[in-house]
Amino acid sequence: MLPVMEAKFHLSKPEAGNYSEIFQSARFAIPCVTIHSIPSRTAYTWVTEMGERLPDHKEHFVFLDGLRGIAALLVGWLHVSEKFSLRYKPTHAYLAVDFFFCLSGFVIAYAYDEKLAARLRFSDFALKRLIRLYPMILFGALLGGAAWLVGKSFGGFGGIVAVTVATLALIPLGLAFHEQAYPPNNPLWSLFFELTANAVYGIERRIFPARKALLAILILSASGIALVAVSYINRGLEFVGFASYSSFLAGFVRVAFPFFAGAFIYRYDLFRLRFRVPSSAVAIALCAMLLAPIVQPQAVGIYDALAVIILCPTIVILGANATHSASWSRIWSFLGKLSYPFYIIHLPIYSAVNQLKRVPHIPTILIHALPVFGLFAAAVSAYYVMILYDEPVRRWLTLRHSAARTPAIG
């Protein structure tokens, strides 16, 4: 079953005489439906693959979901090259995480800026974000713990269980054992900082419901300067956020600029351009950023900082204005839906596939094929985890939350 976009319309009652403002002149395509006008932000929402309700023009942003999928696949390629010791390594694919942060800030601000400024409580916002993210964190931690138990004797069974349990709570206990922050499934480090950024954003929006341009400038200036320093000192951002205690603390700097840059791109309408760009050009730009052949240590530090400060926000803005056909919308939507489960489970899948090397008398040709098989197995597994576990669990949790918030009648 191919996941497709799901559109839902919610028409709020307008004030008298304002019906002309509800429908704006526009045209966009949805699979099986062509709509010649888009309701205004107060009247239209779209349910995205991130599980957020977004205002109008969402069709343009389907491509951003596709960019998330492309970036996730390049992360998968990076880890394949490391796990299976391939000759070529996509040099800067780790910057996909920074792109995720920037895109996440944009999407979350688009979904929640008005709601948090109006009446949405911070507790409800936090619960919505946990419902969206935690089911796969739970699955990824347990899957990673199982794969780690099979493939490594670190600290014995008790040590593996202790670190896996800590990973379930996103506690970076691995650092205490001179390992990466989350040894069972290290990509979870970015989820810790994603949730942290979400919390700071929610608090900031509740405290400052009105636009504060000076505050935005101060946040971006301070976080941008700190990011440049962290990137230069560490000779790039590849290991920032998980490799040691100091790099873990630097992870707060790593997430701050891209996330809030994305949020402010929406809040101050910086994404509204007077022109459109081909989606293929934006996709190529993203791949070029993540595959740039810059390897000299000091140059890497400068490049990574500039990529996060300039290129990531630019790609988000251009992606929000990219043009593509209706048929490509399904592809971009599918890649977007697949990106999160793939990102969470791909490394444990690679670890399991890598154990096939231990099979006695395995032909050499099959050993050489393991990287391709690992990537394919991770993608297929992510799809079935998405439709059989992640989506049903999130629907159930959302219904439970909605039922708890609905007052009894009678």
Inform me whether the pLDDT recorded for 8 exceeds 90.
Answer: no
What is the domain extent for residue 44? Answer: 6-402
Please indicate, yes or no, if residue 265 is contained in any of the structural domains: yes
Over residues 143-171, the pLDDT tens digits come to 999 988 876 655 677 888 999 999 999 99
On whether residue 176 sits in a domain, the answer given is yes
360 inside domain: yes
Average pLDDT, the chain: 85
Between the two ends of the chain, the Cα-to-Cα distance in Å is 42
Q: Is residue 408 part of a domain?
A: no
pLDDT score recorded for residue 324: 85
Task: Read off the amino acid at residue 14.
Answer: P
Residue 81 placed within a domain? yes
Long-range contacts of 194-197 (CB under 8 A, 24+ apart): 194/100, 194/101, 194/104, 194/133, 194/255, 194/259, 195/129, 195/130, 195/133, 195/170, 196/252, 196/255, 197/101, 197/104, 197/105, 197/255, 197/256, 197/259, 197/260
Between 177 and 12, where is the model more confident? 177
How does pLDDT run across 87-135, given as a tens digit for each residue? 889 999 999 999 999 999 999 999 999 999 888 999 999 999 999 999 9
Percent of the chain with pLDDT over 90: 67
Burial of 205 (0-12, 13-18, 19+ CB in 10 A): buried
Q: Residue 362 — pLDDT band, cuts 50, 70, 90?
A: confident
Q: What's the pTM?
A: 0.84
Higher pLDDT, 23 or 336: 336
Note whether residue 184 is domain-resident.
yes
The whole-number pLDDT of residue 361 equals 82
Helix pair angle (122-151, 326-354), 10° resolution: 40
pLDDT at 36: 34
pLDDT in tens, 211-242: 788 889 999 999 999 999 999 999 999 999 99
Is the pLDDT at 21 greater than 90? The verdict is no
Give the DSSP per-residue string, 165-227: HHHHTT--GGGGGTS-SSTT-TTHHHHHHHHHHHHHHHHHHHH--S--HHHHHHHHHHHHHHH
Does residue 307 form part of some domain? Answer: yes
Task: Write the single-letter amino acid at 293.
Answer: P
Residue 74 resides in a domain? yes
- pLDDT tier, 45 (very low <50, low <70, confident <90, very high otherwise): very low
Longest dimension (CA), the chain: 79
183 in Cβ contact with 348 (< 8 Å): no
Q: In this model, does residue 280 exceed pLDDT 90?
A: yes
Least confident of 177-181, 346-350, 363-367: 363-367
**What's the structural domain count of the chain?**
1
pLDDT of residue 405: 67
